[in-house]
Amino acid sequence: MSPEDLLTLFRQELDDIASPYLWSDSEFYIYLNEAQDMFVREIGGIADRRSTLTKISYKTGDQFKKYDERILRIKGAFDETNRILTIRNLENFDSGYFEDDYGARFAFSLDDDKTGDLRFLITDTGATEIQLYPKPDHDGFIRLYVFRRPAADITNGNSEIELPSHQHLCLLNWVKYRALMKNDVEAFDAPKATDFRAAFAYDIEYAKREKSGREDRKRSMGYGGIPML
């Protein structure tokens, strides 16, 4: 459904079909945008490895790079040759060792002057910032695999909703909660608002289970490289 369709349904369900309306169109779209952003955050973000948000260019000698604040979590990264980059926390280096993706432990120290082929992205050096390690000795770019917030706000009836179509109606529960908590004698209805907020929370939990069922389960390696579930 489009935001315009949801607005029509919202007015029908809250019996707000005669002008002057209790809730303006602009109020509705503010609530709807808030609903989508909260829903996406709660389920862990929208998977993305193709949009412009996921590409970060760097120059020779760059040490720190900002990434888009809409990115909630970096799950994977590749350089311009499609080589996998290892994502690590600063703590792994400060402790004098790090573990690779197979659990092997290596002695390692962080040398800010070291240059060479980019191997690591250190993700906890600052808000929306990554450290490139070692400092690259050539220009290039990084392609990220991320979970992110919606790419654009919902501002009108033609805006895009980035959730699957079967989840669009879930957003109305938050919209109704916000609408019925409006500081207005005719609009305010706290008991009903509480019910809609609870319904929204239930929808989020269901969406989390649905998302978890689509994702691969993490496997540990056993003897002879046989995956152990």
30: in domain: yes
Q: What is the mean pLDDT of residues 41-49?
A: 96
Ranges 16-20, 79-83, 99-103, 147-151: which has the least confidence: 99-103
221: in domain: no
* pLDDT single digits (tens) 160-182: 999 999 999 999 999 999 999 99
* pLDDT single digits (tens) 69-92: 999 999 999 999 999 999 988 776
- Give the pLDDT score at 225: 42
Ranges 55-69, 95-109, 139-153, 205-219: which has the least confidence: 95-109
**Same domain (yes/no): 117, 39:** no
- Give the pLDDT score at 61: 96
Question: Which of 148, 174, 194 is a domain's end point?
Answer: 148
226: in domain: no
pLDDT higher than 60, residue 228: no
Question: Which of 148, 174, 191 is a domain's end point?
Answer: 148
**Percentage of residues in the chain with pLDDT exceeding 70?**
86
**Same domain (yes/no): 23, 40:** yes
Q: Tell me the pTM.
A: 0.84
Integer CA distances (angstroms), 202 to 171, 205, 206, 210, 223, in order: 12, 5, 6, 12, 41
As given in the structure block, the two tokens for residue 106 are 């290596």
How high is the mean pLDDT of the chain? 89
As given in the structure block, the two tokens for residue 182 are 């409006």
The full length of the chain comes to 229
Domain interval for residue 74 = 47-148
Residue 53, C-beta contacts closer than 8 angstroms, at least 6 positions apart: 67, 68, 70, 71, 146, 148, 151
Better pLDDT: 139 or 101: 139
**Same domain (yes/no): 107, 76:** yes
- Give the pLDDT score at 217: 56
- Give the pLDDT score at 111: 78
- Give the pLDDT score at 227: 42
Work out how many domains the chain is built from and give that number: 2
pLDDT higher than 60, residue 153: yes
- Give the pLDDT score at 229: 40
- Give the pLDDT score at 213: 83
- The Cα–Cα gap between 64 and 125 comes to 9
Name the pLDDT band for 14 (thresholds 50, 70, 90). very high
**Percentage of residues in the chain with pLDDT exceeding 90?**
78
**Same domain (yes/no): 144, 84:** yes
